[in-house]
Amino acid sequence: MKRQYWKFYWPLALTGMVMLLARQFQNGTLSRYPNAARQLATFAFASGMLMPFMSALGFLPQMANVFGRSCTARRRCLRFTFMLCAALAAIPACIALVPGAEIVPARIFGIADEQLAVVILYLRLLTPMLFVQGLKQYYTGLLVQAKRTGLVTVLHGSALALMGSLLAVGLHRGWQPVVTLAASQICAGLLHLALLFGFARRGGAGIQEPETKHLTYLDMARFFWPVALTSLMFALSRPIIYSYVNRTPGAEPKIAALRVAFDLALIFHMPVNQLRHLFVTFGFKDMPGLRRFILLVLAGVLGIMLLVALSPLSMLVLRDLLGVRGAVLPMARQVLLTVCLIPVLVAVRNYFHGRAMVSRTTVSMGLGATLRVAAIWLASWAGYATGMLNHTLAALILTLGFAVETLTVALVGRRQRHVCSL
């Protein structure tokens, strides 16, 4: 079974890293513009406004995999995806287009004038990408269901290549940062969606089960709202931290360092996140084997992350590859080292996430994520109120949030398992 797990898993792990390389390309591009710290901070604010809604779509592949087991069910899943994207896009669209609504990001992040105008422009350009992202996630779920994970990686790589090329073109030709970032993201997203659609239509979904029970939108909503809440809470974690850090003296370099280091750390978190697909696809047939496989993956990921964070490799990546300079560089290195515990917490959390999704008892996931954000908000407020909040404490607060979430899903997951066994 281990060979089968590896064959299924390694393309997904590679896909996760490819997805996050896009953020590294974006950060590296902004780091090479004049006043880089401000450009990075502005994009962090804009991403912080949009990512909660983008992240709410993060579990659509698992939903399509779990429920889309017949042609009729897949069509219902697709319609559910459209309705979900429309509902999520309504809020950022209002903030971006309704006069006076810009007060929302202004109050959240404490920004104004020119920087606020750029954040609103980012929202206007990128909010329609919610529909593109939702459809991408849906068709990715069908390909994963068919165990065509290698194809998923290739398609992500193609989109990344286009994004990187357009970022380089925009930087070289002197486009405004917002034009460079938006054009590359929009074009890459549309290409990716077109490729996913084409391959999925040509037989991407391999499972054709008889529909013994009529799948309703309520069935999908009951499964999806807790996992969507999980992703939404993840996306709120950073904006909460940014909003308090931005009220401290010399905030822009700190936020730039947090943005760069958090995005770099996600490269090591994402391979662990992909382990959830194993449960959804293979179920509970070989739990001891799955646990051993998870430990093996975690040991490798954590070892590489510590090697990068503790060695001169961090300078090679941050300074030479991403172009980070000045006061941002040492702070980014400190943040990266501080969050090295998070992959361990994520691995334990995702073990219980996987069990919850297969058994369709996902409420524990939403509860854990909500408590994570509550812990982050409370700790950020306390750090700001006491004057102790800096980039290092902000990284510790993020780690604390994951610890609270992991403990919650572990306790609730064990309780549910005990109840089921009675």
Task: Compute the distance between CA of residue 298 and CA of residue 308 in angstroms, rounded to an integer.
Answer: 15
Task: Compute the distance between CA of residue 361 and CA of residue 355 in angstroms, rounded to an integer.
Answer: 8
Closest among 34, 188, 183, 197 to 122, alpha carbons compared:
183
pLDDT at 384: 95
DSSP class of 264? H
In the predicted model, residues of the chain with pLDDT beneath 70 are: 1-3, 203-213, 277, 279-281, 283-284, 360, 413-422
Task: Compute the distance between CA of residue 236 and CA of residue 242 in angstroms, rounded to an integer.
Answer: 10
pLDDT at 89: 94
pLDDT at 183: 95
Consecutive H or E run containing 203: none
Per-residue burial over 144-153, b = 16 or more CB atoms within 10 Å of its CB, e = otherwise: bbbbbbbbbb
Helix axes 342-359, 251-273, angle to 10 degrees: 50
pLDDT at 209: 60
How many other C-beta atoms are found inside a 10 Å radius of the C-beta of residue 334? Answer: 17
